[in-house]
Amino acid sequence: MEPPPRMNTVRLVIVAVTMLMLAQTVWPMSVNRGLGPEPDSLDIHQAQGLSAINLLRDLREGLLSFDAKGELVPGQAESWQVLDGGKRYRFTLRPDARWSNGDPVTAADFIRAWHRAFSPQTASSTVGLLQPVVNATAVMSGKMSADALGIEAPEPGVVEITLTKPAPWFLELLAHPVSYPLHPSSMDDPRHAPVNGPFMLEKWVPRALISLKKNPEYYAANSILIDSVKYFPIEEPAAELLRFRAHELDITETIPSGRYDWLEKNLAAQLRTYPYLGSFWLGINFRRPILGHSASLRRALALAIDREILVRVVLGAGEMPAWSIVPPGISGYRPAQMVERGWSQERREAEAVRLFREVGFQAGFGKHKPLVIELRYNTSQLHRRMAVAVSAMWKQVLGVATELVNEEWKVFVNNRKMGVVTEIFRGGWIADYGDPSSFLDLFTSGSALNTTFYADSEFDQILASADRDSGVVRMERLHKAESVLMQDMPVIPLYYYVSRHLVSTRITGFADNVRDIHLSRYLGSTAESP
């Protein structure tokens, strides 16, 4: 057999030059991320779900932002001063802060956005976070005009915010979407208006793909290592896992229930779990006659649930049984836990039966006429497993007949907010800022986020008094307020969250943190996307 012909010198040079050019080519880099449910809104004043909040943090930016470790850093403000003993803040905007169309970000953009947020016509569900601002309550109720709000622009590049009293957590709120600025053209069309964050919305295919591309006008655009982010709305964690293993995802939003041991054994290098400031609970609609009027019934339902089985068998991803609304991990705070935490499960169930019979005798239900209640949750295999397990425990211990109702996320959120058809529903909260009030404020009378419709004057007064204090005294008052909640039980705590993701080994810049905030601007890739 003849040997293959030799390449001549010219051909060798061409091949060498071509290979050198290919080696130096910078491939467009993208990161593919699981998002969880389809975002409920991209309107900064309407978004509630975690998926929407995470997406907005890539598209927009407030006065402050977060670094890769989830700590506060300057955002659209390059610096700030804390004045008048913590009651006034003066922010100086970056001179190079730009909207994606090239327009400068001005103090007026923040004033405009805040006025809209506080407008009764906007009906923002998260504007209550900014309640420490002067005249916030009166403006929200329509008693005062937005001009009276404690935010002003003494100069084009300066924003001043005045509070009614010092709020130690306030700076953290300025990294939340509800406090972001708005371009003049973005009042009614959040999907197509200019943005001021590290990425811009490129394409949205409902229930399939949300594609973002780098914003060249962003002040730190040169530091961003990737060119695009592709978010995939996937409600089922098992589907996320399959797509991760097929190299279609680089980062998952969560992991499937009951697969932690397998993942730890087979994907240990990619598995990331970490403590997280979040609690999962079952909310109870206080507008329902029996459920809302009987603390004994609510407590019986709470005690009949075996939390150890839930976290070990149903979840199996490192979660901890919850006996309080505020999770552990907040500096200087001791959560007010249910007194039955130290009991055996057998003793808890015996007490649950006693309370249930007592209420049943008065309300007319019992062995021959079982109580029928509805447990509502958003579409998710994990939430279904949880609902099935809880209903089985209620049936076994108390004889309760539970009707399970599952709904698509947006429908579920709306029904929970309206409180017309809900009885008991899947709930929970991830801290908007590292303070107990992020959880406790949810239950104040009239709060837009109070989907239990719980109202108690003692609780409201204790929270109000805590706002006038600081340090240890304040934390003690917050503990007392949570103790009232744990007596009245507007929610049944089930477990404390842990953050849990699968992260491809080719991804850089993903840092575990207690807030579980991972902005795409810090991510990188060691190779081209598959």
pLDDT (tens digit, 9 = 90+) per residue, 269-283? 999 999 889 999 999
- For residue 443, pLDDT over 80 is answered with yes
Mean pLDDT throughout 253-268? 91
pLDDT at residue 276 in the model: 87
Fold of 30-219+503-525: Dipeptide-binding Protein; domain 1 (3.90.76)
End-to-end CA distance of the chain: 41
Query: Which of 22-31, 76-85, 294-303, 513-522 is the least confident region?
Result: 22-31
- Give the confidence band of 300 by pLDDT, cuts at 50, 70, 90: very high
Instruction: Decide if pLDDT at 158 tops 80.
Output: yes
Q: Taking 90 as the threshold, does the pLDDT of residue 156 lie above it? A: no
Contacts for 294-297: CB closer than 8 Å, 24+ residues apart: 294/359, 294/363, 295/487, 295/488, 295/489, 296/355, 296/356, 296/358, 296/359, 297/355, 297/356, 297/359, 297/363
- 277-498 matches 30-219+503-525 in CATH topology: no
Q: Which of 13-17, 135-139, 201-205 has the lowest mean pLDDT?
A: 13-17
Q: What percentage of the chain exceeds 90 in pLDDT?
A: 75
Q: What is the mean pLDDT of residues 486-515?
A: 95
- Assess whether pLDDT exceeds 90 at residue 23: no
Q: Which residue has the higher pLDDT, 301 or 3?
A: 301
Residue 127 in this model has a pLDDT that exceeds 80: yes
**CATH architecture of the region 277-498:** Roll (3.10)
Burial of 138 (0-12, 13-18, 19+ CB in 10 A): middle
pLDDT band at 362 (very low <50, low <70, confident <90, very high): confident
Q: Are 226 and 32 contacting, i.e. CB atoms less than 8 angstroms apart? A: no
pLDDT score at 1:
41
Contact 496, 507 (CB under 8 A): no
- Top-ranked range on mean pLDDT: pick from 4-13, 110-119, 428-437: 110-119
Pairwise CA distance, residues 178 & 62, whole Å: 9
Average pLDDT over residues 186-214: 92
Q: Facing residues of 152 across strands?
A: 160
- Distance of alpha carbon 492 from alpha carbon 280, whole angstroms: 9
- CA angle at 365 for the pair 363 and 368, rounded to the nearest 5°: 160
Residue 14 pLDDT exceeds 60: no
19 pLDDT tier (thresholds 50, 70, 90): very low
Res. 527 pLDDT band, cuts 50 70 90: low
Taking residue 147's Cβ as centre, other Cβ atoms within 10 Å add up to: 10
pLDDT at 28: 59
Question: Count of CB atoms within 10 A of residue 346's CB?
Answer: 8
pLDDT score of 354 more than 90? yes
Average the pLDDT over each of 82-91, 135-144, 521-530 and give the range with the smallest value.
521-530
Confidence of residue 182 (pLDDT cuts 50, 70, 90): very high
Question: What single-letter DSSP state applies at residue 331?
Answer: T
pLDDT at 411 over 90: yes
Mean pLDDT value of segment 381-397: 95
Domain boundaries, the chain: 30-219+503-525, 277-498
In the predicted model, what is the mean pLDDT of residues 335-364? 95
Q: Report residue 528 CA to chain centroid gap.
A: 30
Summarize the confidence of residues 386-398 as an average pLDDT.
97
Question: Which of 267, 304, 235 lies closest to 34 in space, CA to CA?
Answer: 235
User: In this predicted model, what pLDDT tens digit does every residue of 205-259 receive, in sequence order?
Assistant: 999 999 999 999 999 999 999 999 999 999 899 999 999 999 999 999 999 888 8
Mean pLDDT of 442-464: 94
Residue 498 clears pLDDT 70, i.e. is over it: yes
pLDDT of 399 above 50: yes
pLDDT value at 123 more than 90 = no
The full DSSP string for 79-127 is EEEEEGGGTEEEEEEPTT-B-TTSPBP-HHHHHHHHHHHH-TTT--SSG
Mean pLDDT rounded to a whole number for the chain: 91
- Nearest CA to 160 out of 243, 62, 232, 90 is that of 90
Would the pLDDT of 392 be above 50? yes
Q: Does residue 162 contact residue 88 with C-beta atoms inside 8 Å?
A: yes
Say yes or no to pLDDT of 24 above 50. no
Q: Is pLDDT above 70 for 528?
A: no
Task: Write the pLDDT tens digit of every residue in 94-120.
Answer: 999 999 999 999 999 999 999 999 988
CA distance 427 to 489: 13
**How large a percentage of the chain has pLDDT more than 70?**
94
pLDDT at 143 over 80: yes
Q: What is the per-residue pLDDT for 187?
A: 67
pLDDT in tens, 31-87: 999 999 999 999 999 998 899 999 999 999 999 999 999 999 999 999 999 999 999
